[in-house]
A and B are shown apart, each in its own frame.
Chain A
Amino acid sequence: AQKITQTQPGMFVQEKEAVTLDCTYDTSDQSYGLFWYKQPSSGEMIFLIYQGSYDEQNATEGRYSLNFQKARKSANLVISASQLGDSAMYFCAMREHSGGSNYKLTFGKGTLLTVNP
């Protein structure tokens, strides 16, 4: 079974509008972390935002916010006021324990966001 599910292979949004990228996860850990990364066409992976499973408030970083619904096991990324430079692949990822105090990071398949002028 997939650990991280991103159901939207591609999304389109008009410049200056908000967009939500979906992510659901599956884990039996009580303590875990959720991440969003951006990968532009140049290929580098850019960290955007992090949410810990015990964090009570939704994480925000500038125009990025993470809509964390623990009971639903969802961690959607909201980008407000989209810009042309937001066009990229977006990956949701989860950190969970891998025995002892070690952990691993598992990624979803990604969502390709295109911002239209």
Chain B
Amino acid sequence: DVKVTQSSRYLVKRTGEKVFLECVQDMDHENMFWYRQDPGLGLRLIYFSYDVKMKEKGDIPEGYSVSREKKERFSLILESASTNQTSMYLCASPPGTGTGISYEQYFGPGTRLTVT
């Protein structure tokens, strides 16, 4: 009954490294989202995608980029990791079409990234 998976639960990287966080959904959804979650700040939207090769900036895109080459896979890229990017990263994918109404948003288990 797996719906949204993320490549790693825990990741430790060094400052300046290029980091790839992968998210895969097996539900044939068009929409996919990347959030980061920090204590006291809730979930903040980084980037989202409503179709293959389409992307849109969220509220905090600085320092991040994304890639959506296939419908089921949405990658978050930290071009040069910094310590302030230490956080929990959550991927989500709502059911329905890109133009439809969806009543819930399936989340992945999260990746806890530590940048040292």
**Interface residues, chain A, with chain B CB atoms under 8 Å away:** 4, 6, 9, 33, 35, 43-45, 47, 50, 52, 91, 93, 98-99, 101-102, 104-110
B51-82 at interface with A (beta carbon < 8 Å):
56, 58-59
Contact across chains for B40 and A109 when beta carbons are under 8 A apart? yes
Over the window 31-60 of chain B, the binary record of Cβ atoms lying under 8 Å from chain A Cβ atoms (1 yes, 0 no) is 101010000111111001010000010110
Q: How far is the CA of A96 from the CA of B44 in the complex (A)?
A: 15
Contact A104 B110, beta carbon cutoff 8 Å: no
Q: List 13 A-B contacts (CB under 8 A).
A: A45-B92, A45-B107, A47-B104, A52-B101, A102-B31, A102-B56, A104-B48, A105-B94, A106-B59, A107-B44, A109-B40, A109-B41, A109-B42
Given pairs A45-B107, A101-B98, A102-B31, 7 additional interface contacts (CB within 8 A): A47-B103, A104-B45, A104-B56, A105-B45, A105-B105, A106-B45, A107-B43
**Residue B84, interface by CB 8 Å:** no
Q: How many Cβ-Cβ contacts under 8 Å join chain A to chain B?
A: 56
Contact between chains at A33 and B33 (CB < 8 Å): no
- Contact check, B42 vs A35: say whether CB atoms are below 8 A apart: no
Q: Among the interface residues A9, A52, A98, which one has the most CB atoms of the partner chain B within 10 A?
A: A98
Task: Give the distance to chain B from A53, nearest Cβ to Cβ, in Å.
Answer: 11
Any A CB within 8 A of the CB of B88: yes
Give a binary string over B75-116; 1 marks a CB under 8 Å from any A CB, 0 the rest: 000000000000010101010001101011101011000000
Partner of B109 from the list A35, A43, A52 (CB cut-off 8 Å) is A43
| Chain B contact residues, CB within 8 Å of chain A | 31, 33, 35, 40-45, 48, 50, 56, 58-59, 88, 90, 92, 94, 98-99, 101, 103-105, 107, 109-110
* CA gap between A110 and B90 in the complex, in Å: 15
CB of A110 within 8 A of CB of B105, answer: no
Distance in Å: Cβ of B56 to nearest Cβ of chain A: 6
**Nearest 3 interchain pairs by C-beta:** A45-B107, A109-B42, A47-B104
A47 CB → nearest B CB, Å? 4
Query: Are B33 and A104 within 8 A (Cβ)?
Result: yes
Given A43-B88, A45-B90, A109-B41: A104 and B105 within 8 A (CB)?
A: no
Task: Write the nearest CB–CB distance from B100 to chain A, whole angstroms.
Answer: 9
